Chains A and B, each alone.
Chain A
Amino acid sequence: MGIGTFIVVSIIKILIAILVLLTAVAYTTLLERKVVAHMQNRWGPSRVGPFGIWQPLADGLKFIFKEDLTPPYANKPLYLLAPVIALITALTSMAVIPIGPWISVGSIHTPLQITDVNIGLLVILGITSVGVYGVALAGWSSNSKYSMLASLRASAQMMSYEIALGLSLVGVLILSGSFSLRDIVDAQAGTWLGFIPKWNLFKGQVVAFFIYIMAAYAETNRIPFDLAEAESELVAGYHTEYSSMKFAMFFMAEYANMFTVACLASLLFLGGWSGPVFGPPIVQSLLPVFWFALRVFAFIFIYIWVRGTLPRFRYDQLMAFGWKFLLPLAIANIVVTSLVVALK
């Protein structure tokens, strides 16, 4: 593939990825409102179009036309920079996430992924760790007590759970021997006895999977770890002073992060896009993407389900849970996994 074709193909892939991700983010908000509403015996959004199907568009328009306020004593450059950092880091993680095997369009043979790097997982961890600045700077630059306190809580929480999250992935890395997400998925191909898939989840990473899920909920500030924006207790959170599109950027970043986390869970523990493939060539090349999307959807649904079910942690419980329970458990998982691999 020449350099010109490569650039064109890459730009097309980036545009498709951003478009699909942002649409998915918009409709996840609708899904969330609908599902939580039905869990609470309500209807949820039902006015804008059938089943409220145009609600995300209406919300988007509302965000654009809202008055954009900047507090008079805010640090303006950083106040502007914070939501930008949050959104950019949330979207950039998608660059190394594969959504399916290779496809051929005409003479162009390309992976279903923006770029395959051999340190893919580390890139994602790096980008997420930089994302903390969005939260920290938002709280500080607003020059408001509420934002400041909430941002300290949120960034301390994100940093604490990042450690448990990172350590929970080590078991998977030991089993696959690579940081490339595509290699990790390929290492999970095949079945035992013809029907049990060789997913990392079934290769003994059950504990790691649950540590990952819990740490991921805390990383994305979702219930039961949503202390950063406990709307019934705090005044909104680190984005108290933000309005209009700047608030929407934080909102989009949060949901995009949910997708990153769900994609990673599918790739690392549930075999990525593996699944039965059949039918004509065009269906054959698209079925893996469908299986992958199905897994991601399942994770998003569980996110919403948990939100509709569980109460919120207290802050000291949250910290104790992360440092005294998840962290030792993750280390124990690493020790056991490496012993099993070494003795095999």
Chain B
Amino acid sequence: MLHLVLFFIFAAVCVGGAVNLLAQKHPINSALSLIVVMGSLAVIYLLLGAEFVAAVQIIVYAGAVMVLFVFVIMLLNAGVEERTPHGSRVAMMLGVPGLIVGLGLGIWVVTRITGLDKIGIGGPAIMNGTEAFGNPQAVGRLLFRDYLLPFEVTSVLILIAIMGAVVLARREE
């Protein structure tokens, strides 16, 4: 019950933040809305029993990635974005609700076909039967025992990406 209430509160905050991200004119307000979205996503992960992922979501995304976003906006001192006037209002009025309804229908059909709708949103429904899967020990066991090779390959990929960024950003002497 408490899970359900918290889920709806933070799902609403998440969607609200995402809409605000698009609606805001100033880039820094949009960046801050994105932080709100990430924070509420972390709470939803927590409700699903994935404590480790929730903590990492805050540390990596809200705490590191978004700080860089905010940095860039601050350094460029990006101003209020310009609105392009073209685009009809009727399309806005009808298109946005139409898109939402269409997406919702699509998701509903897909979940019905694949049977995903049988999974509840509350933690206990998922936790039933299996041992805890979202705590750091379980995640560590998966990453460093069962999926060691994919994990290491991914880390090499990230290393290559970092080196590529360094090479690209380096000023020619």
Contacts and interface: CB of A to CB of B under 8 A. Distances in A.
Interface string A121-149: 01101111110110011011000000010
Interface string A110-129: 00000001110011011111
Interface in B1-41: 28, 32, 35
Residue in B51, B59, B62, B135 with the greatest tally of chain A CB atoms within 10 Å: B59
B113 interface: no
B63 A140 contact: no
Contacts of B52: 119, 122
B64 A78 contact: no
Q: Label chain A's interface by main secondary structure.
A: helix
A136 B28 CA distance: 11
A125 B63 CA distance: 9
Nearest to B135: A118
A187 interface: no
Nearest to A166: B59
Contacts of A133: 35, 67, 70
Interface residues of B, number: 21
Nearest to A177: B137
B55 interface: yes
A339 to B, nearest CB: 15
B71 A155 contact: yes
Contact of B136 (A78, A152, A162, A179): A179
Contacts of A234: none
A236 interface: no
Contacts of A123: 55
A122 B32 CA distance: 22
A159 interface: yes
A126 B67 contact: no
B58 A126 contact: yes
A97 B61 CA distance: 24
A131 to B, nearest CB: 9
Contacts of A122: 52, 55-56, 59, 136
A139 to B, nearest CB: 8
Interface string A58-89: 00000000000000000100100000000000
B71 A152 contact: yes
A314 to B, nearest CB: 22
A155 B136 contact: no
B157 interface: no
A45 B7 CA distance: 52
B101 to A, nearest CB: 34
B110 interface: no
Nearest to A121: B55
A148 B74 contact: yes
Given A129-B64, A133-B35, A159-B64, A119 B51 contact: yes
B72 to A, nearest CB: 11
B28 A155 contact: no
A140 B70 CA distance: 10
Nearest to A118: B135
A236 to B, nearest CB: 19
Interface in A147-172: 148, 151-152, 155, 159, 162
9 contacts: A117-B51, A118-B136, A119-B136, A122-B56, A129-B59, A132-B67, A152-B71, A177-B137, A179-B136
Nearest 5 Cβ contacts at the A-B interface = A129-B63, A122-B55, A126-B58, A140-B74, A126-B59
